[in-house]
Protein backbone atom coordinates (compact mmCIF):
# COMPACT_ATOMS: atom_id res chain seq x y z
CA UNK A 1 0.00 0.00 0.00
CA UNK A 2 1.12 3.57 -0.63
CA UNK A 3 2.83 5.25 2.27
CA UNK A 4 5.44 7.89 3.05
CA UNK A 5 8.83 6.44 3.94
CA UNK A 6 11.52 8.12 6.00
CA UNK A 7 15.11 7.19 6.71
CA UNK A 8 16.74 6.79 9.11
CA UNK A 9 14.12 5.95 11.71
CA UNK A 10 16.53 6.73 14.53
CA UNK A 11 19.68 8.81 14.60
CA UNK A 12 22.02 9.51 17.50
CA UNK A 13 24.82 11.93 16.79
CA UNK A 14 27.19 14.26 18.54
CA UNK A 15 26.86 18.00 18.60
CA UNK A 16 28.45 19.60 15.56
CA UNK A 17 27.88 16.68 13.22
CA UNK A 18 25.86 16.88 10.01
CA UNK A 19 22.53 15.08 9.92
CA UNK A 20 20.62 14.24 6.77
CA UNK A 21 17.07 12.92 6.87
CA UNK A 22 15.34 11.55 3.80
CA UNK A 23 11.73 11.23 2.78
CA UNK A 24 10.04 9.44 -0.08
CA UNK A 25 6.56 10.89 -0.63
CA UNK A 26 3.63 8.87 -1.87
CA UNK A 27 3.82 8.53 -5.65
CA UNK A 28 1.70 11.19 -7.27
CA UNK A 29 1.63 13.55 -4.31
CA UNK A 30 3.01 16.89 -5.40
CA UNK A 31 3.34 18.52 -1.99
CA UNK A 32 5.79 17.63 0.77
CA UNK A 33 5.88 19.03 4.29
CA UNK A 34 8.63 18.77 6.94
CA UNK A 35 7.60 18.98 10.61
CA UNK A 36 9.42 18.79 13.92
CA UNK A 37 7.71 17.49 17.05
CA UNK A 38 8.88 18.02 20.63
CA UNK A 39 7.07 17.68 23.93
CA UNK A 40 7.38 21.39 24.63
CA UNK A 41 6.50 22.87 21.23
CA UNK A 42 4.33 20.19 19.72
CA UNK A 43 4.24 19.79 15.95
CA UNK A 44 5.87 22.67 14.07
CA UNK A 45 6.08 23.15 10.32
CA UNK A 46 9.65 23.66 9.12
CA UNK A 47 9.20 23.83 5.35
CA UNK A 48 7.02 22.69 2.50
CA UNK A 49 7.38 22.12 -1.20
CA UNK A 50 4.93 21.96 -4.06
CA UNK A 51 6.03 20.45 -7.35
CA UNK A 52 9.55 20.31 -5.87
CA UNK A 53 9.70 24.09 -5.38
CA UNK A 54 10.07 25.45 -1.83
CA UNK A 55 6.99 27.50 -0.92
CA UNK A 56 7.59 28.29 2.71
CA UNK A 57 10.59 27.61 4.92
CA UNK A 58 9.93 30.36 7.44
CA UNK A 59 9.74 27.83 10.27
CA UNK A 60 13.26 26.63 9.69
CA UNK A 61 16.42 28.07 11.30
CA UNK A 62 18.20 29.10 8.11
CA UNK A 63 21.70 29.17 9.55
CA UNK A 64 21.82 25.43 10.14
CA UNK A 65 18.85 23.82 8.42
CA UNK A 66 18.30 23.26 4.73
CA UNK A 67 15.58 21.42 2.84
CA UNK A 68 15.63 20.29 -0.76
CA UNK A 69 13.65 18.16 -3.14
CA UNK A 70 16.07 17.02 -5.83
CA UNK A 71 13.41 14.95 -7.57
CA UNK A 72 9.77 13.97 -7.16
CA UNK A 73 10.64 10.84 -5.18
CA UNK A 74 13.05 12.33 -2.64
CA UNK A 75 12.97 15.17 -0.14
CA UNK A 76 15.86 15.86 2.23
CA UNK A 77 16.26 17.81 5.44
CA UNK A 78 19.79 18.59 6.53
CA UNK A 79 21.12 20.01 9.78
CA UNK A 80 24.70 21.29 9.85
CA UNK A 81 26.00 21.66 12.48
CA UNK A 82 23.58 19.84 14.77
CA UNK A 83 22.93 20.99 18.33
CA UNK A 84 21.34 19.26 21.35
CA UNK A 85 18.25 21.50 21.00
CA UNK A 86 17.61 19.90 17.60
CA UNK A 87 16.71 16.65 19.35
CA UNK A 88 13.14 15.87 18.26
CA UNK A 89 11.08 13.66 15.99
CA UNK A 90 11.12 14.92 12.41
CA UNK A 91 8.13 14.01 10.28
CA UNK A 92 7.69 14.25 6.57
CA UNK A 93 4.18 14.38 5.13
CA UNK A 94 3.03 14.30 1.55
CA UNK A 95 -0.23 15.80 0.47
CA UNK A 96 -3.04 15.68 -2.03
CA UNK A 97 -5.23 18.71 -2.64
CA UNK A 98 -8.69 18.43 -1.18
CA UNK A 99 -11.50 19.37 -3.54
CA UNK A 100 -13.32 21.84 -1.34
CA UNK A 101 -15.27 24.95 -2.17
CA UNK A 102 -13.63 28.35 -2.46
CA UNK A 103 -14.33 29.26 1.15
CA UNK A 104 -11.80 26.65 2.30
CA UNK A 105 -8.99 27.85 0.10
CA UNK A 106 -6.30 25.50 -1.19
CA UNK A 107 -6.14 22.68 1.37
CA UNK A 108 -4.17 19.46 1.45
CA UNK A 109 -4.87 16.10 3.02
CA UNK A 110 -1.53 15.23 4.57
CA UNK A 111 -0.17 11.74 5.05
CA UNK A 112 2.61 11.48 7.58
CA UNK A 113 5.66 9.25 7.44
CA UNK A 114 6.85 7.27 10.48
CA UNK A 115 9.32 9.97 11.50
CA UNK A 116 13.02 10.17 12.28
CA UNK A 117 13.84 10.33 15.98
CA UNK A 118 16.96 12.48 16.28
CA UNK A 119 19.07 12.66 19.42
CA UNK A 120 21.99 15.08 19.49
CA UNK A 121 24.33 14.63 22.46
CA UNK B 1 -1.79 33.65 22.94
CA UNK B 2 -1.15 30.49 20.98
CA UNK B 3 -2.67 30.26 17.53
CA UNK B 4 -4.34 26.93 18.29
CA UNK B 5 -5.13 25.93 21.86
CA UNK B 6 -6.10 22.58 23.31
CA UNK B 7 -6.34 21.30 26.84
CA UNK B 8 -3.45 18.88 27.27
CA UNK B 9 -5.51 16.50 29.40
CA UNK B 10 -5.53 13.68 30.05
CA UNK B 11 -9.23 13.40 29.41
CA UNK B 12 -10.42 10.18 31.00
CA UNK B 13 -13.68 8.56 29.93
CA UNK B 14 -15.11 5.08 30.51
CA UNK B 15 -15.60 2.70 27.63
CA UNK B 16 -18.86 3.39 25.80
CA UNK B 17 -19.06 7.03 26.84
CA UNK B 18 -18.83 10.11 24.61
CA UNK B 19 -15.47 11.83 24.57
CA UNK B 20 -15.52 15.54 23.80
CA UNK B 21 -12.31 17.19 22.64
CA UNK B 22 -12.11 20.94 22.20
CA UNK B 23 -9.93 23.37 20.29
CA UNK B 24 -9.91 27.16 19.98
CA UNK B 25 -8.04 29.23 17.42
CA UNK B 26 -7.02 32.85 17.20
CA UNK B 27 -7.08 33.66 13.47
CA UNK B 28 -10.65 34.64 12.64
CA UNK B 29 -9.93 34.11 8.95
CA UNK B 30 -9.05 30.44 9.37
CA UNK B 31 -10.63 28.38 6.66
CA UNK B 32 -10.37 24.68 7.36
CA UNK B 33 -9.89 22.53 10.42
CA UNK B 34 -8.45 19.08 10.90
CA UNK B 35 -8.40 16.46 13.61
CA UNK B 36 -5.46 14.07 13.75
CA UNK B 37 -4.98 11.10 16.05
CA UNK B 38 -1.50 10.17 17.24
CA UNK B 39 -0.74 6.99 19.14
CA UNK B 40 2.30 7.05 21.39
CA UNK B 41 5.47 6.71 19.34
CA UNK B 42 3.58 6.85 16.05
CA UNK B 43 2.87 9.47 13.42
CA UNK B 44 -0.29 11.57 13.22
CA UNK B 45 -3.12 10.20 11.12
CA UNK B 46 -6.01 12.22 9.78
CA UNK B 47 -9.42 11.45 11.29
CA UNK B 48 -11.52 14.12 9.63
CA UNK B 49 -11.69 17.70 8.52
CA UNK B 50 -14.38 20.37 8.48
CA UNK B 51 -14.63 23.78 6.85
CA UNK B 52 -18.30 24.80 7.14
CA UNK B 53 -20.09 25.83 10.30
CA UNK B 54 -22.07 23.05 11.88
CA UNK B 55 -21.54 19.34 12.36
CA UNK B 56 -19.88 16.73 10.21
CA UNK B 57 -20.27 13.07 11.07
CA UNK B 58 -18.10 10.12 10.07
CA UNK B 59 -18.87 6.88 11.84
CA UNK B 60 -18.34 7.34 15.57
CA UNK B 61 -16.70 10.72 15.04
CA UNK B 62 -18.43 14.10 14.79
CA UNK B 63 -16.58 17.35 14.17
CA UNK B 64 -18.31 20.57 15.16
CA UNK B 65 -17.29 24.00 13.94
CA UNK B 66 -18.39 27.40 15.19
CA UNK B 67 -16.46 30.11 13.35
CA UNK B 68 -18.13 32.95 15.25
CA UNK B 69 -16.79 31.54 18.53
CA UNK B 70 -13.55 30.34 16.89
CA UNK B 71 -14.14 26.90 18.28
CA UNK B 72 -13.89 23.41 16.83
CA UNK B 73 -14.59 20.16 18.64
CA UNK B 74 -14.41 16.44 18.08
CA UNK B 75 -16.92 14.06 19.62
CA UNK B 76 -16.18 10.36 19.82
CA UNK B 77 -19.24 8.26 20.50
CA UNK B 78 -19.08 4.81 22.09
CA UNK B 79 -15.45 5.37 23.07
CA UNK B 80 -13.20 2.32 22.94
CA UNK B 81 -9.88 1.66 24.69
CA UNK B 82 -8.32 1.68 21.22
CA UNK B 83 -9.30 5.36 20.97
CA UNK B 84 -6.77 6.16 23.69
CA UNK B 85 -4.31 8.48 21.97
CA UNK B 86 -3.40 12.13 21.62
CA UNK B 87 -5.75 14.12 19.42
CA UNK B 88 -4.27 17.03 17.52
CA UNK B 89 -6.31 19.93 16.23
CA UNK B 90 -4.88 21.67 13.15
CA UNK B 91 -6.00 24.88 11.50
CA UNK B 92 -5.33 26.18 8.01
CA UNK B 93 -4.99 29.93 8.12
CA UNK B 94 -6.03 32.45 5.54
CA UNK B 95 -3.97 32.48 2.41
CA UNK B 96 -1.58 29.73 3.44
CA UNK B 97 -1.45 26.05 2.63
CA UNK B 98 0.23 25.16 5.88
CA UNK B 99 -1.44 23.82 8.99
CA UNK B 100 -0.88 25.14 12.49
CA UNK B 101 -1.20 22.40 15.09
CA UNK B 102 -2.29 22.53 18.67
CA UNK B 103 -0.23 20.63 21.24
CA UNK B 104 -2.89 17.95 21.51
CA UNK B 105 -5.25 16.46 24.08
CA UNK B 106 -4.45 13.08 25.52
CA UNK B 107 -7.50 10.82 25.72
CA UNK B 108 -7.65 7.78 27.98
CA UNK B 109 -10.55 5.36 27.59
CA UNK B 110 -10.77 2.87 30.42
CA UNK B 111 -12.35 -0.58 29.97
Reported as a pLDDT band with limits 50, 70 and 90, residue B62 is: very high
> Which of A67, A73, A84 minimizes the C-alpha distance to A21?
A67
What does the pLDDT read at residue A102? 63
Contact B16, B78 (CB under 8 A): yes
Note whether B98 contacts A112, CB cutoff 8 Å: no
Mean pLDDT of B48-57: 92
Higher pLDDT, B44 or B2: B44
Note whether B99 contacts A110, CB cutoff 8 Å: yes
What does the pLDDT read at residue B98? 78
Chain A closest CA to B54's CA: distance in Å? 15
CB-CB: which of A103, A107, A112 is closest to B43?
A112
Chain A closest CA to B103's CA: distance in Å? 5
CA pair distance B81, B17, nearest whole angstrom: 11
Give the least confident one: A98-112, B34-48, B57-71, B93-107. Answer: A98-112
In this complex, is the C-beta atom of B7 within 8 Å of any C-beta atom belonging to chain A? Answer: no
Residues of A in contact with B32 (CB under 8 A): 98, 100, 104-105, 107
- Per-residue pLDDT of chain A (121 residues), as tens digits, is 679 999 999 999 999 999 999 999 999 888 899 999 998 888 999 998 888 888 888 888 889 999 999 888 999 999 999 999 999 999 999 988 776 666 656 677 889 999 999 999 9
CB-CB: which of A33, A105, A113 is closest to B92?
A105
Mean pLDDT of B92-101: 77
What does the pLDDT read at residue A35? 96
E strands in A14-87: 19-24, 31-38, 42-50, 53-56, 65-71, 74-79
Note whether B42 contacts A111, CB cutoff 8 Å: no
In this complex, is the C-beta atom of B96 within 8 Å of any C-beta atom belonging to chain A? Answer: yes
Amino acid sequence: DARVTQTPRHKVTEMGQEVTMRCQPILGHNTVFWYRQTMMQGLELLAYFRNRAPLDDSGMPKDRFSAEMPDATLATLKIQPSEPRDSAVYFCASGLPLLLDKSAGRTYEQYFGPGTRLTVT
Amino acid sequence: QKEVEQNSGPLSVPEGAIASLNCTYSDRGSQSFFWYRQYSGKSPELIMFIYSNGDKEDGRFTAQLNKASQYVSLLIRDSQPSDSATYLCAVKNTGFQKLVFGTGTRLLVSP
